A and B are shown apart, each in its own frame.
Chain A
Amino acid sequence: MSNNARSAILERLRKAPKKPIPDLPPWSPYVTTTESAFDRFRRMITAVKGEVIETSRANLAATIRQVLADKQASNLLYAPNTDIGKTLDKAWAAEPGPRLVPYDKPIEDLKSVIVNDIDAGITSTMGAIADTGSLIVWPSVDEPRLMSLVPPIHIAVLEVSKMFDSFPEAVAKLGWNKKPPGNTLLISGPSKTADIEGILCFGVHGPKQLVVLAITD
């Protein structure tokens, strides 16, 4: 049945009158401004309630510790095999902090913990887009898809050297259109809704808070 539908649909489309294929008229996504790409990103994402904290590689663990304390998070979902994960393990070994929960098993074995018990999750990013104030997040084997979604607080680590002006630029430079991972994301602020009377409320399904740790060195 499905095959019949396929050929019937394609046949009808092929028999339909042809129209010329238009060229794409020029459109520049760039906003002419003297602001740096990172400053634009920060302005855009803070406008939608994302928090941006500047830090350095050396101070990353301390900054994370501070964020967790400020937000009163009692635990952190993390990816032990990543650079961030190793930094955390090292720092926590020297001085313990809120409980680190590794995302090291399939979701089927961790579902209840991840859905119900986690306060915060931390992920890396592939960079960020200035035009729209978006983090680029590519989940992977080490850093699974749900880490940036299910915990009420998402901490995202951004290297300020990886700024892109626009999405098309990021597509080209990251080879996004070559063989992209199963899930790739643009994240522009915490989860929000305006479904009740158009009034803005945060954290309806995804994180209520988004903290960007911007590494400037």
Chain B
Amino acid sequence: MSKSPLPGRPETVYYFPTCLVDLFYPEAGMAGIELLQRAGTNVVMPDRQSCCGQPARNCGYYEEARAVARTQLAAFPKDWPIVVPSGSCAGMMKKHYPELFAGQPELPKIQAFCDRVFELTWFLVHVMDIKLVDKGEPVKVTWHGSCHSMREMGVIEEPKDLLRSLANVTLVEAEYEKECCGFGGTFSVRLPEVSGAMVTDKVSNIVATGATEVVSGDMGCMMNISGAMKKAKAPVKGRHIAEFLLERIGKGDA
């Protein structure tokens, strides 16, 4: 996917910060909102939302996932685009809601909802046509693309293009960049040894790039990666791409 399905920039968008961002990384979520506003749109974040339902769906608990999905459906009644600062949660809503509601009477309504779901960096690039002016010091960063962002949402180059557009930022590619970090939601606690081996490898590959920061579009992966970096006392900082971009262009500057 590389062409905007929307005619021009929308006046208003909905924002779905995700439950993980709400609980652990609200500033990352706020950064996404500010980027959208500065790109020229109004942001509305309904209070009546919670979680996309992915954890239950991935474990096979479809009824439970459906119940939670219905809550999200009710939270976004207008036909504005729904922008999500996570390729994984966006992928759940866009790709798996239709399967979750297959054979259910709400399916047409669900499909219309899915069509409105967008991943943040993709939306900034293709719909908002955002232009970034780098105000930061020179820095070397590396990127971790989440599996669902790449494989369900087709978001591969967009976030990296945003990073490359910053004059003082050098983007270096880590070995095995496109390999899973080992998070996988419940996978990390169901098969903790294997998940641990995966994230340990991921961290070594990141450290080997010599970058001082790793950025990602998904805080699930980032919680895993930065948690492992912290425990291993690795000299690399991890955060959401929205927070990083906002800092580069000057948070609060209009």
The reply to whether A and B meet directly (CB within 8 Å) is no
What is the interface of chain A, defined by CB distance below 8 A to chain B? none
What is the interface of chain B, defined by CB distance below 8 A to chain A? none
